[in-house]
Amino acid sequence: MKRHLPLLIACLIGAITPALADDDCLFVYGKDSSLSVFPKQYILSESRTNDMLTLSLEGDTVISIPMSEIDNISGQAPELPTMTSFKFNNKFNPDLVRDVEPIFIDGIVPTELDLEVPVIGKRLTPSFKLSDDKAEAYVDGVKQESKVSRPRFDKDITYTVSYPNWKIFTRKQLTEEKWSEVKEGGWQEVALTPDMISTNQESNLDYENTSQMLDDDENTYFQSRYGQGQLQEYVYIDIALPHALNQFKLFYQTWNRTSNYNVTELLIGASNDGLDWKEIRILSADKDGLPSRYTGGGGQKYTSEPIDLRSDYSYIRLTAINGEKTPSNGNPLPYYVAWAEMRILEYIKLDDQPVLLEPATYASQMMPYGTDYSIHVDFLSETSDVPRIDIWTDWGILPYDRSTWLTGTFKLTGNGMYDDLEDSISIRGRGNSSWAGQWGKSPYNIKFNTKQKPFGLTKGKKWCLIANSQTGSMMANAIGMKAARMVGTDGANHVIPVELYINDEYRGSYTFTEKVGISNNSIDIDEANSVLLELDSYFDETYKFYSSPFTLPTNIKDPDLSDPEWAYTASETFNIYKEEFNEFCKAVYDNNGFERMMDLESFAKFFMVNDLINNMELGHPKSTFMYKEGLQTLNAKYHFGPVWDLDWAFGYENSSRYYQSDVNTDLLHTKMRGQAGDNFFYALRYSSDDVKREYYRVWKDFMDNHFDELLEYAQDYYEFANPSFIHNSYIWGDGSNYGNSIRNIRNWLTNRTKYIMNNIDVYVLDEDPSSKGDVNGDGFLSMIDVVILIDYLLGNEDGDFVFENADVDTNEIITVTDLVWVIQYLTEAGVTLSPYRMPPAEVRLCMNDFDATLGENSTVDVSLLPVEEADESVVYSALAFDVVVPDGITLQDVNVGSSSHIVSFSTDEEGKSHVVIYSNSNAPISTNDKLHLKIRTDAVVEEKARAIAIENASIATLDGEDHRMTGTLGRFALHTGIDNKLASIRIVGGKQLTIEAIAPTHVEIFSTDGVLQRSIDVPTGHTTVELPSGIYIVNGVKTVIF
């Protein structure tokens, strides 16, 4: 529809159109299925010709629409699309304690929805469903994507469910009216001067006269006459007002050098001529609180309640008719008056009306037209107290070292924000420099007897209570870990503020978080073929070494090599870890293909978070974690993370203060220049163009999609945790002034990101991948897309189904062809959903060791087994994984026993096979089903590389979730097939004889009649031997030379 707009309609957002009846609007239906709606309240004039519809609208706006583009003009509204569900799922809101899904009556979403959400932070990603595939949702004119868009819900948000190109004309208010300020009324001093004050008993001394009561000096005073010349009558003070009053307040301050000259009864009189006086009332010490010897010493201040004169008067008289001090001559009169200051207060009532200074301004715009839904969120973090953890040790003592476990009882009181929890635990101290002894504010490790989900986190046994004892540090880890979760670093920790009590004694404000390790609530990999390294100069693990090159202090954090169930001895396993890490370090040092040995995205995200907060601990290095899954397998890569121990970041390293310094300094080659960690990470960060490109991509995504939320989160976290901070200050000193830190945090992070973005290498990035195949619209490809698509083909509607994404071949119908395309995407690229965005599965894969024979096929069995304490109610229907084999091995086929499940896979250039297993009926996968991998061995495989790994494994539930599974590894022995000899060489015929040996060996070559033709010693590697054409027996292998 072509529109002529003589005046530009501002492309602004935020209008909410009030509900209008059909006949209150003009509906213009376009031939292209568009709809333009014009409320009649905005239509100033309308003109229709054979060629054009012209509308003059408020705001000097003229809209012209050619009649050739109009299908119909009427006052009848169309049927509007609707919202059929709305919820917050913790899959897309990692900090959300639990899913928030309201129950709708008759499946209808009300147009006003109130939700209680247990989360710290106000930005949320909702999951919603609309009434049909073409409907779209908008907020303030911006299209919203279910499971992707992330608005801030600190105010009510209106979602408009509309169709493409359905618009309504609105007038958006840009600015509010500005009015002049109206001052509130109040009590103000009457402007008195000395000549307005008089008395019948002037002082004997000039410096004690009545003017002293107006000089704002409490050390000067008025004292009524005493001794000679004293009148035998009550002392009074007359005040000639500058204007008449009908009410007033009296203020006075007694003389500061005496405590017994107080007036105990004061008669208030009023007059219009200063001659004829009317008694108004008496103020007394008993009833009105006049100062006395019983209320204090000298210098007492008194302000009366309002005294109503009931008419306008120009004079006020204050008469002392009773007091504490009388003349020394025994006469009853007068009572002394000794006042340092005196004031009369009047009430100023302002009845000025505000004046309009600037009218409100508006802009005309076309906004989405449809059904409006107002979403109101009550955040439990605003109404709940910080959760409390109570620990009672069986011995009734505090943990006293970092090695002795004390048994005890654990109780979490969630205060409505989190679920309560009780269990038996063990507790001991933890940390290096942070350990402050038994009686200090020390951190702790805790272990539950069984796996638990405290605070709604991933189930696990091992957790940490972090003390944050350095002054100003109680928000550092919270902000840094939030950034880690935002960008998706490996094993990113959650940080929950808690009030900690041990044996009923308050120990301070702590944070609760996951313990770093190989476990399902941290780095969820198979420890049988993986290693978690900690680069840390404390160098305090049992198994440790210094890398060569770089001399990195490398600790084996996990697994526990003392476990007797390993395939190798502890020494053998340790040497494998050491050898492989040294190979990686050498590749980094030599800049020789190290990019292929590490996960670029993992490194970029890990380093980005540390760079953002300027965590110079990397330079030592300290508390720096990295891991490798699939040891001794092809293409196994080092990953970086989790991010940990951030209380020396944010400028603290150089200044011992947070958010004050080190904004405009590089993380590397500054203070830590020349240290092992600095050299290692500098080489990683700056030696590769691939790393630089990925690093820029991560930073750009963070600035575009997360930075503003991080600043907001700092404020939201502070507001929730601050009461706990204040409690902490009562016993440890730190915590009373974190409000001042918020501004510093915002400024520091803003300036830090500006510095980094001004100095980063900029790259032209590939466009975002197509959403085709992302059937549920969560932004990733995974097996749940397959399950939902099959469900749709079976006629079972699922609200998570996004028609546009599922229609891969774009023919506007969903068929098996679209399913084939989705399967192809997954087998070509693999699952793109990060495993750390999935909850752990209730099942695991287990590959058996096996025998392989050179030149023959072998079958490898893989079992699907329940995990420890598995939830047997979870039903799975599809899974995906990658198979990694060494050179010389190829994956021929995969099948699922007697199951009806279908297997599809493809192998990429690096030899990794992406395997997808599903059922056309979404039939359940049983733990009784075995997977069978058919492999072929065509070359000698070096002994240490004789292993097949399954990686990146995930499995989809029938109710719409992806779950992550740990990988598994199978090792094999290699045989020649002749006399069952172990394979150490490979024999290849052809135009010449090729011998491939993994170690020096002796080879004998016979003709078919048994005559020895050659006897040679073969070195390691490839050896070629020229022979006449014919058939030979080489080390027992029949070989043809032609």
**Maximum pairwise Cα distance, the chain:** 157
Q: Cα(437)–Cα(423) distance, rounded to whole angstroms?
A: 26
Q: Cα(661)–Cα(654) distance, rounded to whole angstroms?
A: 8
- 615 in helix, strand or coil? coil
48 belongs to a structural domain: no
Specify the pairing of strand 126-130 against strand 985-988.
unpaired
Residue 945 identity? A
- Return the CA Rg of the chain: 41
The neighbour count for residue 361, using CB atoms within 10 Å, is 12
Q: Cα(74)–Cα(76) distance, rounded to whole angstroms?
A: 5
Q: If you write DSSP's letter for every residue of 934-979 in order, what string do you get?
A: EEEE-S---GGG-EEEEEEEEEEETTS-EEEE--EEEEEEEE-SST
**Is the separation of the CB atoms in 621 and 633 below 8 Å?**
no
* pLDDT band at 220; cut points 50, 70, 90: very high
* Last residue within a domain, chosen from 149, 173, 197: 173
Write the pLDDT tens digit of every residue in 1009-1029. Answer: 888 888 888 887 778 888 888
Q: Cα(983)–Cα(59) distance, rounded to whole angstroms?
A: 86
The neighbour count for residue 164, using CB atoms within 10 Å, is 14
Residues 810 and 950 in one domain: yes
Look over the chain and give the mean of its residue pLDDT values, rounded to a whole number.
Answer: 90
The neighbour count for residue 75, using CB atoms within 10 Å, is 12
Most confident of 5-14, 672-681, 1001-1010, 1012-1021: 672-681
Least confident of 3-17, 106-120, 537-551, 593-607: 3-17
Question: How far apart are the two ends of the chain, measured CA to CA in Å?
Answer: 75
Q: Cα(904)–Cα(893) distance, rounded to whole angstroms?
A: 9
Using the predicted structure, report yes or no on whether residue 27 has a pLDDT greater than 90: yes
Angle, CA of 528, 529 and 531, to the nearest 5°:
100
537 belongs to a structural domain: no
What letters, b where the CB count within 10 A reaches 16 and e where it falls short, cover 182-209? eeeeeeeebebeeebbebbbbbeeeebb
Residue 424: its H or E element = strand 421-429
pLDDT value of position 9: 29
If you average pLDDT over residues 727-733, what whole number do you get?
97
471 belongs to a structural domain: yes
Angstrom distances, CA of residue 427 to CA of 125, 143, 790: 37, 50, 49
Percent of the chain residues topping a pLDDT of 70: 95
pLDDT value of position 4: 33
Residues pairing with 130 in the sheet: 83
Residues 740 and 856 in one domain: no
Residue 284: its H or E element = strand 278-284
Residue with tokens 């000639």: 240
* pLDDT band at 351; cut points 50, 70, 90: low
Q: Cα(642)–Cα(623) distance, rounded to whole angstroms?
A: 9
* Last residue within a domain, chosen from 138, 173, 208: 173
* pLDDT band at 567; cut points 50, 70, 90: low
pLDDT value of position 331: 66
36 belongs to a structural domain: no
Q: Cα(584)–Cα(79) distance, rounded to whole angstroms?
A: 63
The neighbour count for residue 151, using CB atoms within 10 Å, is 18
The burial of 95, by beta-carbon neighbours within 10 Å (0-12 exposed, 13-18 middle, 19 or more buried), is given as buried
Q: Cα(692)–Cα(426) distance, rounded to whole angstroms?
A: 45
**Is the separation of the CB atoms in 329 and 283 below 8 Å?**
no
Using the predicted structure, report yes or no on whether residue 8 has a pLDDT greater than 50: no
Q: How many residues would you count in the chain?
A: 1042
* pLDDT band at 11; cut points 50, 70, 90: very low
- The token pair that represents 542 in the structure block: 């049992």
852 belongs to a structural domain: yes
Residues 149 and 203 in one domain: no
The region that residue 672 occupies, defined by phi over 0 for left and psi between -120 and 50 for alpha, beta otherwise, is: alpha
If you average pLDDT over residues 18-43, what whole number do you get?
86
| Alpha helices for 591-688 (secondary structure H) | 600-612, 652-655, 676-686
Q: Cα(466)–Cα(625) distance, rounded to whole angstroms?
A: 18
The neighbour count for residue 559, using CB atoms within 10 Å, is 20
405 belongs to a structural domain: yes
CA torsion through residues 299, 305, 309, 314, sign = positive
Residues pairing with 70 in the sheet: 30
The neighbour count for residue 581, using CB atoms within 10 Å, is 22
- The token pair that represents 778 in the structure block: 């969560």
Q: Cα(689)–Cα(829) distance, rounded to whole angstroms?
A: 23
439 belongs to a structural domain: yes
Residues 964 and 1032 in one domain: no
* Last residue within a domain, chosen from 937, 953, 979: 979
Residues 684 and 655 in one domain: yes
Q: Cα(1006)–Cα(1039) distance, rounded to whole angstroms?
A: 10
Residues 666 and 809 in one domain: no
Q: Cα(236)–Cα(197) distance, rounded to whole angstroms?
A: 11
Higher pLDDT, 371 or 979: 371
Q: If you write DSSP's letter for every residue of 483-524 in order, what string do you get?
A: HHHHHT-TTPPP-EEEEEEETTEEEEEEEEEEPPSBSTTSB-
Describe the crossing of helices 689-705 and 476-487 by its angle, rounded to 10 degrees: 110
Higher pLDDT, 969 or 399: 399
Residues 678 and 771 in one domain: no
**Is the separation of the CB atoms in 828 and 907 below 8 Å?**
no
Residues 989 and 975 in one domain: no
- 188 in helix, strand or coil? strand
- What is the number of alpha carbons within 13 Å of residue 929 lying toward its C-beta? 21
* pLDDT band at 14; cut points 50, 70, 90: very low
Residue 292 identity? S
- Look up the domain containing 662 and give its range: 388-526+544-759
Nearest one of 790, 791, 819, 824 to 807, comparing CA atoms: 819
Angle, CA of 1020, 1021 and 1025, to the nearest 5°:
105
**Is the separation of the CB atoms in 733 and 472 below 8 Å?**
no
DSSP 17: P
Write the pLDDT tens digit of every residue in 910-949. Answer: 788 999 999 999 999 988 888 999 999 988 888 778 889 9
Residues 784 and 917 in one domain: yes
Write the pLDDT tens digit of every residue in 261-296. Answer: 899 999 999 999 999 999 999 999 999 999 988 888
Residues 840 and 736 in one domain: no
Q: If you write DSSP's letter for every residue of 48-117 in order, what string do you get?
A: E-SSEEEEEETTTEEEEEEGGGEEEEESPPPPPP-EEEEEE-TTT-TT-SS-B-PPPGGGPPPSEEEEEE
Domains: count for the chain: 5
pLDDT value of position 995: 83
Cis check: omega of the bond before 118, within 30 degrees of 0: no
8 belongs to a structural domain: no
Residues 810 and 916 in one domain: yes
- The token pair that represents 255 in the structure block: 């003389």
**Is the separation of the CB atoms in 171 and 43 below 8 Å?**
no
Q: Cα(774)–Cα(781) distance, rounded to whole angstroms?
A: 5
Beta strands in 823-866 (DSSP E): 843-847, 850-853, 857-866
Residues 519 and 417 in one domain: yes
Write the pLDDT tens digit of every residue in 638-669. Answer: 999 999 999 999 999 999 999 999 999 999 99
- What is the number of alpha carbons within 13 Å of residue 905 lying toward its C-beta? 24
